[in-house]
């Protein structure tokens, strides 16, 4: 049965830290626009306070989250237990994107390992915390992190990554601008 909380408790924070993958969901205001759900890995998620979280967003083939947050701020995070006791945790909130050079960047980066290819930090104020049973989530064994993205980012270097981001990460697939284009 689902349970709702006003904030992330210590127990829920420990659950978050134990997960190897999380999912981020956003959507544009236009009902014809594309809803985005992205899986995220590596050690990139942080609970900054009981009602604020952040994650390092890596360079990728799109940048829907940033575009949707710039437009409307709505964001949902989901964590699933793939081992141990079944559980699902969703964090609902209002988010924004912090890019290098913005005043918040320096303070926020102190919470993270800065992997090659980091393009921005997504921050969210959490307004609803909800658990669910997770009984339908299958069991999986964690084998390890993939290194292809990090190797690619290192091989590209800063200049080529900037060019790539300009081409692929400045607009959403629906044409909305991202924080990188601001």
| CB neighbour class for 138 (10 Å; exposed up to 12, middle 13-18, buried from 19) | exposed
The model's pLDDT over 1-52, given as tens digits with 9 standing for 90+, comes to 789 999 999 999 999 999 999 999 999 999 999 999 999 999 999 999 999 9
Three-state secondary structure of the chain = CCEEECCCCHHHHHHHHHCCCEEEEECCCCCCCCCEEEEECCCCEEEEECCEEEEEEECCCCCHHHHHHHHCCEEEEEEECCCCCCCEEEEEEEEEEECCCCHHHHHHHCCCCCCCCEEEEEEEEEEEEEEECCCCCCCCCCCCCCCHHHHHHHHHHHHHHHHHHHHHCCECCCCCECHHHC
The model's pLDDT over 105-136, given as tens digits with 9 standing for 90+, comes to 999 999 999 999 999 999 999 999 999 999 99
Q: What is the pLDDT of residue 32?
A: 92
Cα 157 versus chain centre, distance: 23
Domains of the chain from N-terminus onward: 3-177 (2.30.110.10)
pTM for this entry: 0.95
Q: Is the pLDDT of residue 175 over 90?
A: yes
What Å distances lie between residue 109 and 67, 94, 96, 100, 172, CA to CA?
Answer: 21, 20, 15, 10, 25
The sign one gets for the Cα dihedral 160, 164, 169, 170 is positive
The model's pLDDT over 72-106, given as tens digits with 9 standing for 90+, comes to 999 999 999 999 999 999 999 999 999 999 999 99
């Amino acid at each position: 049965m689902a349970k709702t909380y006003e904030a992330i408790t210590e127990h829920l924070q420990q659950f978050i830290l134990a997960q190897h993958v999380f999912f981020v969901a956003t959507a544009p205001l236009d009902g014809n626009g594309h809803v985005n759900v992205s899986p995220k890995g590596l050690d990139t998620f942080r609970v900054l306070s009981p009602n604020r979280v952040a994650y390092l967003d890596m360079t990728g083939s799109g940048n829907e989250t940033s575009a949707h947050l710039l437009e409307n701020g709505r964001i949902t995070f989901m964590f699933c237990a793939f081992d141990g006791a079944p559980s699902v945790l969703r964090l609902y909130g209002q988010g924004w994107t912090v890019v290098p050079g913005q005043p918040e960047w320096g303070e926020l980066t102190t919470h993270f390992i800065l992997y090659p290819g980091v393009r921005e930090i997504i921050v969210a104020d959490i307004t609803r915390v909800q658990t669910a049973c997770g009984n339908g989530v299958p069991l999986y064994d964690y084998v390890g992190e993939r290194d292809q993205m990090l190797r690619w980012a290192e091989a590209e270097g800063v200049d080529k990554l900037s060019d790539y981001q300009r081409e692929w990460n400045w607009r959403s697939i629906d044409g909305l601008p991202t924080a990188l284009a601001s």
